[in-house]
A and B are shown apart, each in its own frame.
Chain A
Amino acid sequence: MADETGSIRFHPDGVDVPGIPGESLLAHALRGGIPLLSPCGGESRCGKCRVLVVGKTQGGEDPGALTRAEIAAGIRLACRCFPSSGDISVTILPGSRPARLTAYLDGKDLAGDEPFLPLSRAALGSVPLGVALDLGTSTLAGTLVDLSDGSVLSRATADNPQMACGEDLISRVVFAEETTGGFELLRGRLLSGVDGLVRRLLEASPVPGEVTDVVAAGNTVISHFLYGISPSPIRRPPYHPVRKEYPAVPGETLGTAPATARAMWRIFPSLGGFVGGDVVAGILASGMHRREEVSLLFDVGTNGEVVLGNRDWRITCSSSAGPAFEGGEVGCGMRAYPGAIESVRIEPETAAAEWTVIGRGRPAGLCGSGILDLCAELFRAGIVDRAGRFTSRGAGRRRSTERGEAFVVVPREKSATGCDVVFCESDLKSVLRTKAALCAAAEALLAAVGLPREAVARVYIAGGFGNFLDLRSALTIGLFPPISLARFAPLGNASLAGALGALRNRRRWKEALSLASGTLYHDLSSDHGFMELYQRGLFLPHTDEESYRSVLAAEIRA
């Protein structure tokens, strides 16, 4: 006879959660609102929900993710570990706690100066306020605007609380489908995150007033959650969303907090299952839809979306590029928080790495721009070959790890964690896959319409990563097609910039609605040429290395 399951105390938060037999420790943590990283959504794929357990439990001793010593020390994967009996103490290990966010808000609006034509009518007796929102997979960002003159009053960001139910969108859709009450839980988390963000915007505003309008740009899955419709069809062929347009409704219909309950909510239309309103907002901010010249727009995030076109026509796709440049799928990867290495140089003779760290402290890991730099530098220094394998060079800076041989970027005595910051061949392979998928997506769009890449006059890079990446590093590893760097323009958070633009000018909002019907969604899963383009990208910089070489040579001359 087993004892009854007792209580589970989570450290360092010190929160007690009543134990339920048959429910994983991760599920207990979720129920208790305890922050615990589970990027794969509890699918036991990522091995990131590591906890130290004292008490009787079963499971979670995955030999693929944990060493024998770790298992002996009581470390378990929370998603596969179940309470057996009695009280249990669970400590969430430092690497498994979500970090506090201070991400980027800046986005450029290149569409040009325009008259101020706000969406709203006047508020009743007070200053009318507008909120522009970028609802990202991992981050929520917002800007509060005085709608009487268009001035920005405050800005804020927050974690998307849905992260606890899966880092990538598919995992969240699966969570919503397979967990009892999962959809409501995810929707509730999104609403609470949005409400909290708006509250902070209002608190920080120097001008009191009444929110009359909200414009929100998010990917299709998030937009579905916000609008209260099931995103399930998006993950199955033919990958169509339930709806692509979301008629404007007051906040109370969506169930938002009183601060925006009477405001009119406008959600950017989606282009397809995996190309959402955030990309529409990005097109708006780039202004590519107003020009005759052909542009490419990359949104580098958890997935990569690409748009090709001009004022007459546009075609877009989602590349299913992995989150390598958001720090995912890379052993020492992390998001762009303080402590993340943001740039790297490697001395070719000694193979020693130099780096700069966000917030100037000791490094704990690598964010996207650091990962990009590191790969480019490893390749330039001849430490890895074109196939992404270590050569004999720089062997002195390598050591063997459980994940294979690894290049030591930061030795443990200089790191914030007391562990080496390392980069393995498998990390490099993840980066290769991500960059191959992104580059191949752009090439597939060019091939679909029959344009040569020389026809591309401008290349816009949206996403926080775009503001910080070193374009030469990007060209060195072939992240983008070989196009002269002078044609590149980083946009930063273009989604937020586009939402802000629409809030300040109602013509822009009309443009957004017409973009939805005038932009063709190209499904890469049924594009016969894509796999081959992808295979061509699985190389440094690319199988078509001649084109990269000539563009790089031109850059060096310039």
Chain B
Amino acid sequence: MDDISGNNRPDWRFAGVSVWVTGADTPVGAAASDMFEREGAKVLRSGVDGIPNPRTSAEAFAQTAGLDKIDILVTAVRSISVKPLLESDAADFDNAVADNLIGVFAAMQAAFLKMVDTAKPEPHSNGVMLVVSSIHGEKPNGSAPLYSVACGGLNMLVREAAQEYGRLGVRVNLLAVGPLEGDPALFPSGITAVYDDAEYKIPRQRLGTPEEAARAALMLCSKDASFMNGASVPCDGGYQGFYMNADVERRLEAALAIGKEAGYGR
């Protein structure tokens, strides 16, 4: 049996690692925080227990002030406001961007200065940042449009950070999470069918779970992803490959019949 009392278990990828998770109140953020702790990390959770998600640089720096170091930053904030573009005003825009984009930018700044020892003549870090975003950085949802706008901003924020922070060794990647359980209810839309029957547009014909997204996030934070920087990785079960004329079921039946006839498989 596994000995879970020690802190040098070979399957603990994050023993002794300090992790800061913003958006720990979201399903993916909560699942990732739990998983980091199970693998030996010390986790600071923003978004829960009276610690708000930072929306400004000042708030972000205040949250990290007491920490010795940060090795890994995971941002999983998600603030969705269902309101048509035509009815939204500048304040709605500012809110969506502050929650989903500026807060991430501020957390990156604050975390970076805890990752890199600026006192050293040639500072270097093995820090990692992972931005949990969504498929709506590419795909409009027709429901909470300003959320998509913020996600689109994250795509470029991550690439910029990967270039700049990457010079000092910090890797920055993005996980574009696809329809998870519960998502269709968050994005009601009268103008698109993006979430109508979403599970049937995924080859596996089911929605993803927060745990699946969190596991992908941990992989990108681990040493296994040491040469990944500025990457945008979809975690969507293949959902973004769906196009309207996909007659999946009939084709699959035909394919299996052919394979059987040809003697492939069991």
A and B bind? no
